[in-house]
Amino acid sequence: MKQAVLITGVGKRLGLALASHLLANGYHVIGTYRRSYPVLDELRSQGADLYQVDFYQQAQVDSFIEQIKANYQSLRAIVHNASDWLPDQIQAGSDIKQAQVLEKMMSIHVGIPYQLNLALQSLLRNHESRFKDIIHISDYVAEKGSKKHMAYAASKAALNSLTMSFASLLAPDVKVNSISPAMIKFNEGDDDAYKEKALAKALLPKEAGFSEIINAIDFILASDFMTGRNLQLDGGRHLK
């Protein structure tokens, strides 16, 4: 019986790389996506079950939870990857109001992990393996703040608090940990000046790459002694 791992946000970048990695390593991947991408058909052809859900729409969240509880008896792990990186500065012409920036950040980075972890904890407990995991993908800025992404950073700090609370609630059956990267991968459109400034913030001036985070996830899945902790994969940002 394949071990099922639920990953949120598998349409691109880290979520897509992680889903592909776990599929290649024999896991049954259950993935969520918001916008559709051609690459999703490749995940489906490799056996992934994909569910379209916009986590900003509560009705879709409720329906998604009911579908997961109806379709699966157990889960080996849940990886909360889905994330929006909204700046505090509202773009001209945007229909987002200032207050909505904080609402959205708390919704996707705190509300969704909170709701899914509580609703699906029994599926984790049902899994027959010795190890069951919840992994929250957070961010280095949770510990330092960010003057341009204050709401984002605050929500990732709250996510790290949830890690400790759920670790206490779900022990000893389920381990719950955060991974807090800095500078995994630039986005298309990031210009050279931005990249140079961002890389200079760390002792190790480089992109971590998706493999660094995936290696950390593999480590956590194999660990039988780490819970309530936060793996900080940040190139030494804290020492610059």
Ligand X SMILES: NC(=O)C1=CN([C@@H]2O[C@H](COP(=O)(O)OP(=O)(O)OC[C@H]3O[C@@H](n4cnc5c(N)ncnc54)[C@H](OP(=O)(O)O)[C@@H]3O)[C@@H](O)[C@H]2O)C=CC1
Catalytic residues: 152
Taking the complex as a whole, the smallest distance from the CB of residue 1 to ligand X amounts, in Å, to 28
Taking the complex as a whole, the smallest distance from the CB of residue 72 to ligand LV4SOB2L amounts, in Å, to 26
Which one of ligand X, ligand LV4SOB2L, none interacts with residue 198, CB within 5 to 8 A by kind?
A: ligand LV4SOB2L
How many residues at the interface with ligand LV4SOB2L, by CB under 6 A?
A: 9
CB 95 within 8 A of CB 137: no
SS3 144: helix
Among 106, 132, 139, 179, binds ligand LV4SOB2L (CB under 6 A): 139
Is 183 a binding residue for ligand LV4SOB2L by CB under 6 A? The answer is: yes
Structure-block tokens of residue 46: 């490799």
Residue numbers at the binding site for ligand X (CB under 6 A): 9, 11-15, 34-35, 53-56, 81-85, 108, 137, 139, 181-185
How far are the Cα atoms of 30, 55, 58, 154 from residue 143, in angstroms, in the given order? 31, 25, 29, 9
SS3 82: coil
Is 142 a binding residue for ligand LV4SOB2L by CB under 6 A? The answer is: no
- C-alpha 238 chain-centroid distance: 22
Interatomic CA distance for residues 175 and 168, integer angstroms: 9
What order do you get walking across the sheet with 133-137 strand by strand? 49-52, 28-33, 4-7, 77-80, 133-137, 175-181, 230-233
Which one of ligand X, ligand LV4SOB2L, none interacts with residue 82, CB within 5 to 8 A by kind?
A: ligand X
Is 193 a binding residue for ligand LV4SOB2L by CB under 6 A? The answer is: no
Catalog residues that contact ligand LV4SOB2L under the rule CB under 6 A. Answer: 83-85, 139, 182-184, 187, 198
